[in-house]
Structure 1
Amino acid sequence: MTQYSSWAEVKRRMRENQPEVSDAEWESRKQAARTATEAHVVGYHLREIREEQGLTQGQVAQSLGISQARSPRSSGVRSTTWRRCAPMRRHLGPGSR
């Protein structure tokens, strides 16, 4: 037998240890985790494309007419989606789609 637990077993134990959490709350937590993961991936890809083109965040933000603070960052992005990054994708070109 392996010393590692299956993902299903880990989730089952989490539910057992927190019986006060409703099914709706579990679903909400899962959706929040998915959103955070997507934001991280989007930010990573945009950063890679921007760096390939030799651009800084400030340069991209300036060309979009926004402050650098409003431009998606590769880390700490909370709710960035491909739709919300459309202006940046257009600016960076076909490789960002």
Structure 2
Amino acid sequence: MKARDYKLVKDGKYNMKAIMQRAWVYMKQNKAFKWYSFNNALKDAWMDAHLKMDDYKAQFNPQYLDYPKPANNFRQALMDLDPTLRCYDSSWR
């Protein structure tokens, strides 16, 4: 049996061989689905590789995965999403 290389990220670079091997594994696992093509398998393998790269970058820079905190006020969060809601304040003033 061949030795498989499934490390998707090596030294901060994408391992193309491992990504292709993972895509073929996904293709074989999902061959019962008619709609699941090699294109879908390759997209899934690349998604895994991107997640591994995020993990790799987060090891060296913990602030890499810090996302903005949501607003505590629901009304303020809605106004941030849709600025036209500012004039529709429900207060009685």
TM-score (norm 1): 0.29
Larger RCO (CA under 8 A, 6+ residues apart):
1
Structure having the higher helix fraction is 1
Structure having the higher strand fraction is 2
